[in-house]
């Protein structure tokens, strides 16, 4: 199955990285302790990985209703507010029209927006003039929700990789947020795309 082959890749990768470390004869209690700590760390990593994999493969079918974009954004902003207290990051949300409506599973789209806002916040960590904006808009045929930040951004070569399951550049990240978010948008017959101009505008765009 794809789970076992993915697991095999992860294990192979770990074995290569530890360089056969476990096979070195243990000469002292310190070696043994170090060996056990390595194994413990890897087990935790694997458990995290399996949990993330399960979450990724067991997405429910969306329950589609009419959702007012403004109300959705108000709700997400309210929910995320505590995260920005004392962070120095300015967080804004706007909607082009209060009547703007999408056909969507509200909770799933909320989850997508929360993933994107968390990523933006993580990208802005330690930056003095950090700004995040969430904006609902529309043109003739399409409704958009965009999450933008002015953080370090994403180099062109990485722009498609970031959507691959388990791709992460974060220590302790599982690399699942964007893969899940894109899958959720596909289930809504929509798209999720990214563009980035470092320290100016990194934007994730939901298209309905």
Ligand X SMILES: Nc1ncnc2c1ncn2[C@@H]1O[C@H](COP(=O)(O)OP(=O)(O)OP(=O)(O)O)[C@@H](O)[C@H]1O
Q: What does the binding site for ligand X look like in residue numbers (CB under 6 A)? A: 115, 119-120, 123, 149, 151, 153-154, 162, 167-170, 173-179, 202
Residues ≥6 apart with Cβ < 8 Å to 3: 53, 57
Is residue 103 within 8 A of residue 62, CB to CB? The reply is no
Choose which of 69, 91, 105, 119 interacts with Mg ion (CB under 5 A).
119
The distance of closest approach from Cβ of residue 181 to ligand X in the complex, given in angstroms and rounded to an integer, is 8
Specify the residue, 68 or 121, whose C-beta has the smaller distance to Mg ion.
121
Binding mask 76-115 for Mg ion (x = CB under 5 A): ----------------------------------------
The distance of closest approach from Cβ of residue 8 to ligand X in the complex, given in angstroms and rounded to an integer, is 21
177 binds Mg ion (CB under 5 A): yes
Q: Which does 62 bind (CB under 5 to 8 A by kind): Mg ion, ligand X, none?
A: none
Distance CA 21, CA 153 (A): 36
Q: Is the dihedral of CA 68, 72, 77, 82 positive or negative?
A: positive
Distance CA 47, CA 10 (A): 12
The residues pairing with 137 across neighbouring beta strands, listed in sequence order, are: 144
**Size of interface with Mg ion, in residues (CB under 5 A):** 2
Structure tokens at 77: 């902003």
Q: Which 3 state secondary structure label does DSSP give 197?
A: strand
The distance of closest approach from Cβ of residue 178 to Mg ion in the complex, given in angstroms and rounded to an integer, is 6
Specify the residue, 18 or 168, whose C-beta has the smaller distance to Mg ion.
168
Distance CA 106, CA 73 (A): 11
Binding site for Mg ion (CB under 5 A): 119, 177
């Amino acid at each position: 199955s794809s789970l076992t082959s993915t697991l095999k890749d992860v294990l192979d990768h770990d074995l290569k990285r530890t360089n056969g470390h476990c096979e070195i004869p243990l000469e002292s209690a310190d070696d043994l302790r170090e060996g056990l700590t390595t194994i413990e760390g890897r087990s935790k990593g694997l458990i995290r990985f399996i949990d993330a994999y399960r979450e990724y493969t067991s997405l429910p079918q969306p329950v589609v209703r009419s959702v007012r974009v403004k109300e959705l954004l108000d709700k997400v902003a309210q929910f995320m507010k505590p995260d920005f207290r004392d962070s120095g990051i300015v967080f804004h949300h706007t909607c082009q029209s209060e009547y703007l409506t999408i056909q969507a599973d509200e909770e799933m789209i909320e989850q997508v927006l929360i993933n994107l806002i968390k990523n933006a916040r993580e990208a802005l960590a330690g930056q003095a003039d950090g700004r995040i904006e969430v904006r609902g808009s529309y043109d003739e045929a399409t409704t958009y929700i965009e999450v933008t930040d002015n953080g370090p951004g994403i180099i062109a070569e990485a722009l498609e990789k970031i959507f691959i399951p388990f791709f992460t550049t974060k220590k302790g990240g599982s690399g699942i947020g964007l893969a899940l978010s894109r899958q959720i948008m596909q289930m809504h017959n929509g798209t999720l795309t990214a563009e980035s101009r470092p320290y100016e505008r990194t934007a994730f765009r939901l298209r309905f």
